[in-house]
Structure 1
Amino acid sequence: MSFTELVKSCNDIKLYGQMNTKGEATIAKDGFFMINVYGNVTYTPVYCDMESDPKAGWTLLVTSRSMAGWNKDNILSHNEGTPTLNADYSILGKADQIKMGTSANVVQYRLEAGSPGHWGGVWEAPVDYSFTHNMNDQTNVTLVAKFGDWDYGPRSIGQRMPWIVEDPTLPAVLTTAERPDQDWYGTIVGSDLGLPAFQGTNAPWIQNLTEAPGAIWYWMRELAATDCEAAGSLQIVKSACDGLTSCTVQADNGLFGDPCRGVRKYLEITYNCVGPARSPGSPGEG
């Protein structure tokens, strides 16, 4: 398999490296890249976050800076040729194709508002969930990292994967809200509907904390089958085995937790056996 066949996402570039002019793989930094999305014959320009997570590359799906010009028709592709953190942009319509590269049963998405790493978090969702879903029922999501002191609620981020609102009379376009016809906090992208009151503002995000954050970013990363690591696994094994001549450790979710739902896991241990320390002059020395 060639390098060009591998780079179907920012995470691929992070895992396999970036090609330099000599055709060699190098370590990738934040910035602009070209990926070969599944099913496409041409490359797609994307913005990649390569540095915030040492083990993952994140593909930018949406930048929401205003509500001007957005609607249910262009939420899938908006200024697609110019990926940016600083202006309205979307390649949401390619997200489901990007996640086709995963060998895991879950996919991760990230939301942040105002500035990177704030007022949002990282979620895991079943890999068969769609990034372009148009109903509010994709609720089996797990918050695995939280940015800021916020709580789920009708005037905050909703506990569901962002979904596309197709009702053109509502200002919410891409939202986590359950009922955007009542409260549309937790909305990533809104439409100003031509109303002066909405122009030049963001969609509402979290009441009393960051209602109009100025920018909201939506990212994704697909997982590999071995892309899991249980926190505290070393201490668990040490507690079970240190000081013993033999031990048995059951590698299951009940003992180690389930850091990536649906991903098959294994336990790998490297160990050294040492004898008890001897004091000078003890039997056997001389």
Structure 2
Amino acid sequence: MTTSFGAATAAIIADDPKLHLARNSCGLRTASNSLLLTKRPHLFCPSSSPTASSLIRAVSTQPRYVDPLNVTAMACPALPLCPLAIAEAERGIPDLLKRVRAVFEKVGLKYNESVVIRVTGCPNGCARPYMAELGLVGDGPNSYQIWLGGTPNQTLLAKAFKDKVKIQDLEKVLEPLFYHWKRKRLSKESFGDFTNRMGHEKLLELVNKWEGIPLGASRYNLKLFADKETYEAMDTLARLQDKSAHQLAMDIIRDYVASHRKW
């Protein structure tokens, strides 16, 4: 029998501060003299002994108890270990995955839906971001080049999508991408396949025009049409208030409706 689990989860021990990686390593050595590291990376522990399998399960966290985003994610060591690194990767990916999960929840994606994410601290790409559905390649301090278009099984190369994205601005890019994936994907279409079908030019347009998730977008839709002169006047007024023309138009409509209510 072969027992396998994600290497990234092997050091996670049931939220008990008394259990450390040393115990994990000892348990794995006791259970199996042969440990195989896969490209994911996962650990494969070949064993035909039920006792060994039980021991492995006792010192590890099974993937079903780990966020699906974490199971397939990977990062290179980067700072402070690698002299080539110009951005964070391994130290930053735990927080990054939490932020991605928060965006998933915000746009309505289910918990069991996942995206293969790879983060690397420099263009050498030791974590293989160039085959990921979402790859982040360090291109400066706290700055990343975003790659899109790999597939879940890494059979297709990704393509560069956007340069010099500051880590604090990541949601501004991910939110529109995941929002439109949720609403425009084909049946069982992965994020990588979706980005390839849509094309980077169209996706970049969606990102640049993004103004946030429309309130009640799934139930209520109000389109406004105006002549060029009216639109330009509205746009000028909106800029003075640091708004978009659409936002200002909606504010005006809400105020008008509120002032004419009879109840």
- How does the TM-score come out when normalised to structure 1? 0.23
Select the structure that is richer in strand.
1
Select the structure that is richer in helix.
2
